[in-house]
Structure 1
Amino acid sequence: MTALTQDLATRFATIALGHVTLEYPHKLDHVMDGPEDVLGPRALHPIFHGSFDWHSCVHGYWLLLSLARRFPKAVFAADVRALADRMLTAGKVAGELAYLDRAYTGGFERPYGWAWLLALHGEAARHEDAEWAEALEPLARAFAQRFHDFLPRQTYPIRTGTHYSTAFALILALDWAEVHDPALADLVRARAIDYFGGDRACPGWEPGGDEFLSSALIEALCMRRILPAPDFRTWFAGFLPGLAAGEPASLFTPAFVSDRSDGKIAHLDGFNLSRAWCWRSLGSALDEAGKGLALKAADAHLAASLPHVSGDYMGEHWLASFALLALIAGESE
């Protein structure tokens, strides 16, 4: 089973250090209310103006801090710490907070960017000798409040395998909230049960042409995080009743990526990596036969896309984060 090595970590860190401060090309999530709002990425976002888009820049920093914590003596770790000292400051965070006070930002980066910002703060808080978490905390609290306000109003989950995925956001939000906001953790658990608790016989109609998440497996992983182990096994048996027979076959088959220069088609490399993350994480909750199937599927998906985390910028600006999720799956269990 492929593991995270210092060589891989160095490769990932080198990629991310090359793009988290790269302002252009850039795809903004930005509503202009007048000519005064015609501004570039750096003017709008003092920290997260790199990596092609705001959310990729956020999880680029998460990647870097995660790798530096795991390999503190690696050559790249000093560069990461210097970058974080320069960028993750109270003054720059204030600029990111100010953006949230603009008109029409209620749906800004909802829910994907919200969840990744919480993950970044959670990772920063694991670095006890740095002030990054203290600087980021007001921004994390602002996005946590958005979850508090929005989840009770979100009547239906969004099941797509893209940035709008409810299950993916709930996973990252719960990981953060269990440490930093118990009330949000309770809300996430309750909404996950409301959204997914009754789901049965998932057809596995995936992947979609531009998905980077498995809508089936990311929901299963969400429930794995929410439910006690016996309850999860019962739920999962009803959700994927054909698992022992390798059905639905689509869930075990890596996606084919025809054009890595096309930003949407390149999502399918992320699809393979995120499936590897899900299968590895789910395997530990299954019986021996189910675990074997899960880990075999994880290895196949990882092998299909791990070689492609760099090459074309359409994948390079974000794929390493999902590769890391797969490689560290199960670490905290």
Structure 2
Amino acid sequence: MLDAATAERFAALTLGHLTREWPYKLDQVLNGPSDLALPSALHPIFHGSFDWHSCVHGWWQVMRLARLFPAIDQTPAIEALADRMLVPQQVAGEVAYLDRPMTGGFERPYGWGWLLALHDELALRPDRPWAAALEPLARAFAARFAAYLPKLLYPVRSGKHDSTAFALIHALRWARTHDVALAALIEERSGVWFGADRAARPWEPSGEDFVSATLCEAVLMQDVLGPKFRPWFDAFLPDPYGAPTACLRTPAIVTDRSDGRLAHLDGLNLARAWCWQRLADDLPESATARAIAQAHLHAALPHLADDYMGEHWLATFALLALTG
């Protein structure tokens, strides 16, 4: 359960790396020697947390915690940092990076989805200027989605950063409030890609997954289909608690949390917990689905700070699992 003590733990963990510049993994194509620069020069806001997308969703995490738990000790520090960083000049620097040559694939689509999720969270605080400041960057990524999705003939059915379904869960939520044309496009493309999927036979996890391709597809279609979801799901996973889907119900085992890619599996357990919780009300035996979610949570929550390879991002997925 997410309570104030847990919120404080998560917030303290993430504030510890949100502006930590080193180590940092750039997602960059070098077009010439002038492109070489420090992370903070390339990304005035999102240069912490080991990589750009982790910094983005780290911001989503702390801003959500500050909104849900305004009385925790970290809220003043979170809001002061937002006042300093989430300002038009800094955002302009992030937008300028997208204008560089060969940035079309930058953070596609994982970082795109998380940036829209961050803007959506900030918009829940209309008393502060943060959402308005970040809006040009959100609109830039929305435009990228709008240009990219019609060209994507086949969805990326992955458990990593290139997952189509995971990114679109966040993008659809944002678009329904901020860009109805993009929302309609996401709904249309999701139906084309996933609407006829039947009798899924999941082979999960792959060795470096951090989201469930199968369950994320189901969560996206739950959002897209609304009341029509249950018939689709019954055809997609006819026996969610049977032997063919046992791999979706068994928490993954992490053998080395100092290896960033192997540590992904802690994130997979948290992502599955989120998905099972999201799906539970629309599934038969909803209590069973929630028990599966709890088993996955218990497998990962003790390890959020075991090593920086997990510490720089896992608390976000824990918060996602605990708040839906």
Please indicate, yes or no, whether the TM-score normalized by the shorter chain is above 0.5.
yes
Amino acid corresponding to residue 149 of structure 1 in structure 2: A
* Aligned-partner Cα distance in 2 for 1:182–1:276: 29
5 Å matches for 1:322-333? 322-329=317-324
* Aligned-partner Cα distance in 2 for 1:311–1:116: 24
Q: CA-to-partner distance for each residue in 1:254-292, whole Å, 9 max, x for gaps?
A: 0000100000000000000000000000001123x2x12
Matched, 1:236 2:233: yes
Q: 2:288 maps to what in 1?
A: 293
Q: Which moved more, 1:291-300 or 1:276-285?
A: 291-300
Match of 1:32 among 30, 33, 38: 30
Q: 2:147 maps to what in 1?
A: 149
Q: 1:161 maps to what in 2?
A: 159
Matched, 1:260 2:257: yes
Could you tell me how far 1:219 is from its partner in structure 2? 0.5
Could you tell me how far 1:299 is from its partner in structure 2? 0.5
* Aligned-partner Cα distance in 1 for 2:264–2:190: 25
* Aligned-partner Cα distance in 2 for 1:151–1:284: 30
Q: 1:212 maps to what in 2?
A: 210
Aligned residues: percent identity? 58
Structure 1 residue runs of 4+, over 6 Å off? none
Q: 2:305 maps to what in 1?
A: 310
* Aligned-partner Cα distance in 2 for 1:201–1:286: 16
Partners of 1:246 and 1:252 within 8 A in 2: no
Could you tell me how far 1:247 is from its partner in structure 2? 3.8
Q: 1:181 maps to what in 2?
A: 179
* Aligned-partner Cα distance in 2 for 1:293–1:106: 42
Other structure's SS at 1:243 match: coil
Amino acid corresponding to residue 232 of structure 1 in structure 2: F
* Aligned-partner Cα distance in 1 for 2:301–2:29: 35
* Aligned-partner Cα distance in 1 for 2:80–2:38: 25
Could you tell me how far 1:74 is from its partner in structure 2? 1.2
Could you tell me how far 1:245 is from its partner in structure 2? 3.1
Amino acid corresponding to residue 250 of structure 2 in structure 1: T
Could you tell me how far 1:153 is from its partner in structure 2? 0.6
5 Å matches for 1:1-333? 3-229=1-227, 231-245=228-242, 247-287=244-284, 289=285, 291-329=286-324
Could you tell me how far 1:129 is from its partner in structure 2? 1.6
Q: CA-to-partner distance for each residue in 1:155-187, whole Å, 9 max, x for gaps?
A: 100001000000011100001001111111111
* Aligned-partner Cα distance in 1 for 2:104–2:215: 29
* Aligned-partner Cα distance in 1 for 2:104–2:232: 34
Q: CA-to-partner distance for each residue in 1:226-277, whole Å, 9 max, x for gaps?
A: 1022x21111111111224354110110000010000000000000000000
* Aligned-partner Cα distance in 1 for 2:110–2:46: 14
* Aligned-partner Cα distance in 1 for 2:31–2:240: 51
Could you tell me how far 1:58 is from its partner in structure 2? 0.3
Q: CA-to-partner distance for each residue in 1:290-317, whole Å, 9 max, x for gaps?
A: x122111100000000111112000000
Could you tell me how far 1:73 is from its partner in structure 2? 1.4
Partners of 1:260 and 1:266 within 8 A in 2: yes
Count of matched residue pairs: 324
Q: CA-to-partner distance for each residue in 1:73-116, whole Å, 9 max, x for gaps?
A: 11111110001000000000000000000010011000000110
Q: Which moved more, 1:240-249 or 1:268-277?
A: 240-249
Amino acid corresponding to residue 53 of structure 2 in structure 1: H
Structure 1 regions of 5+ residues with no counterpart?
A: none
Q: TM-score, normalised by structure 2?
A: 0.99
Partners of 1:279 and 1:298 within 8 A in 2: yes
* C-alpha RMSD over aligned residues: 0.8
Partners of 1:204 and 1:248 within 8 A in 2: yes
* Aligned-partner Cα distance in 2 for 1:160–1:195: 14
